[in-house]
Structure 1
Amino acid sequence: MTTDAAAREIPRYTVAVIGGTGPQGKGLGYRFARHGHDIVLGSRAAEKAEVSAAEVTSRLEGVAGAGAARGASNADAIAAADVVLLAVPYDGHDDLVASLAADGALAGKTVISCVNPLAFDKRGAHGQVVKGGEGSAAESAQELAPDATVVGAFHNVSAVGLWSDDDFLDEDVIVVGDSVEGKQVAIDLAASVTGREGIDGGKLRLARVLEPFTAVLISINRKYKVHAGIRVSGLDAH
């Protein structure tokens, strides 16, 4: 069931965006901050993250009720946050998550993965097969950080749309995970992107479907020269 964000008061979160200097991470961070959440963009190099945070802050000038944006190293960003968003390329994903989890930094955190294991060849984009079809980036993150609560969300949202001037994007955010509480955090944050709460799409293993589906949207976007998203119909009656 989708719910208009105005129908209930959504908690204010502090979100560490790991991969916050990339288009997807910076765009999601901007959306969260635009609608009242505080963000810490993380990077291996704090200076690089600070530059991206300054860009977000500039975009937020004059936006009533906007949250704060700053940059930091990955470790410092996580330490300052309630929620961690993984918005990094799949290449090197496992090594990065393992390093972040090694010292317990992710323990007790809600970790939202929007990582898409994609590959490209002369026929276009396609999903990589993870663990012989029995895994996903989100599931790998949960295995590598067992003391965190990992959910999958925001896989199919266009980075171009996120950085646009539109107040909200005309699409839905599907959230998957094995924790009701963890999914609720991502469902809440989805309202910053679409103006309505995200949709509970089921268990974490269904990230195996959501992650490679991004390749279909890339194909549609190239064919029609748009920035397509996903809308789920039939929920308004529930």
Structure 2
Amino acid sequence: MTAPIDPTTLTVGVLGGTGAQGTGLALHWARAGISVVIGSRDAGRAEVAAKEYREATGVDHVRGTDNATCAAESDVVLAAIPWESHAETLHGLAAPLTGKILVDCVNPIGFDKKGPYPLPVEEGSVAQQAEHLLPQSRVTAAFHNVSAVLLADLEQSEVDCDVLVLGDDRDATDVVRALADAIPGMRGIYGGRLRNAYQVECLTANLIAINRRYKVHAGIKITDL
């Protein structure tokens, strides 16, 4: 039986750590004792954000830098970047992401007068696009269906939701599941191979519609587990 993974031994980089989803996850990981590196195209902006996160959590193991340095100096890297810049950003980081676990949480969602809807992705899913761009990285998909509003509210004692973790490298998905479990109330659950990521990415469109209709911050829960 393998020993449990201790996420506090990891350094987690957050590409897009100044955006809503990246901010919330970075705050919770920092508060859980995990070293966090915030990445941005603008290193100064990343350090300003990191300073805010240090003040919000009362810890000192959060720092900011440019995207390439963030990727190079982290064990696990979360891609929490806009879909519109996904390919360009990851393509430019292929070298520093070599051998790293890449966690893609990007949702291909569009909006029109009828509300949110999924956008097509040529490679099959956003995560598969990342795999195509980063053939030397250990690509996983996770954290798509977690409310950024709940993540950002540190007064909440728990984030009550499950996180589906997908990927072809089971050791990598186990690490990502441990990162989900490090956040109180959250469970990381293996959700299948990377080829199954598209429906998980697109489910966010349904959750946004639910949130708008019922004025809530919906997530998902897996029953009988």
The letter for the 2-side match of 1:199 is: I
What RMSD in Å do the two structures reach over aligned CA positions?
1.5
Equivalent of 2:83 in 90, 93, 109: 90
Equivalent of 2:176 in 168, 174, 186: 186
The letter for the 1-side match of 2:7 is: P
Question: Does 2:45 correspond to 1:48?
Answer: yes
In the superposition, the TM-score normalised over structure 1's length comes to 0.89
Question: For 1:147-166, what aligned pairs fall within 5 Å after superposition?
Answer: 147-164=136-153, 165-166=155-156
1:51 CA displacement: 1.1
Q: Deviations over 1:45-93 (max 9, x none)?
A: 00111111111111112xxxx5711110001111211011000010021
Equivalent of 1:217 in 199, 202, 207: 207
Task: Tell me how far apart the structure 2 counterparts of residues 197 and 223 of structure 1 sit (CA, whole Å).
Answer: 26
Question: Does 2:146 correspond to 1:146?
Answer: no
Note closer, same or farther for the CA distance 1:190–1:67 as it changes in structure 2 (3 Å cut): farther
Task: Tell me how far apart the structure 1 counterparts of residues 219 and 60 of structure 2 sit (CA, whole Å).
Answer: 26
Match of 2:96 in 1: 105
Task: Tell me how far apart the structure 2 counterparts of residues 123 and 229 of structure 1 sit (CA, whole Å).
Answer: 21
SS in 1 for 2:162: coil
Note closer, same or farther for the CA distance 1:194–1:204 as it changes in structure 2 (3 Å cut): farther
The alignment covers a number of residue pairs equal to: 221
Contact 2:37 2:65 in 1 (8 A): yes
Q: Deviations over 1:174-218 (max 9, x none)?
A: 100011011011100001334454000000011111001000000
In the superposition, the TM-score normalised over structure 2's length comes to 0.94
Task: Tell me how far apart the structure 2 counterparts of residues 197 and 181 of structure 1 sit (CA, whole Å).
Answer: 17
Q: Deviations over 1:101-133 (max 9, x none)?
A: 1xx1111000000000110000000110112xx
The letter for the 2-side match of 1:68 is: H
Q: Deviations over 1:141-200 (max 9, x none)?
A: 011000000000000011110011213211101100011011011100001334454000
Note closer, same or farther for the CA distance 1:228–1:127 as it changes in structure 2 (3 Å cut): same
Which stretch of structure 1 is more off in the superposition, 183-192 or 148-157?
183-192
Q: Which runs of 5+ in 2 are unaligned?
A: none
Contact 1:75 1:105 in 2 (8 A): yes
Question: For 1:3-82, what aligned pairs fall within 5 Å after superposition?
Answer: 8=4, 10-12=6-8, 13-61=10-58, 68-82=61-75
Which stretch of structure 1 is more off in the superposition, 196-205 or 225-234?
196-205
The letter for the 1-side match of 2:6 is: I
Task: Tell me how far apart the structure 2 counterparts of residues 98 and 79 of structure 1 sit (CA, whole Å).
Answer: 14
- The percentage of aligned residue pairs carrying the same residue is 46
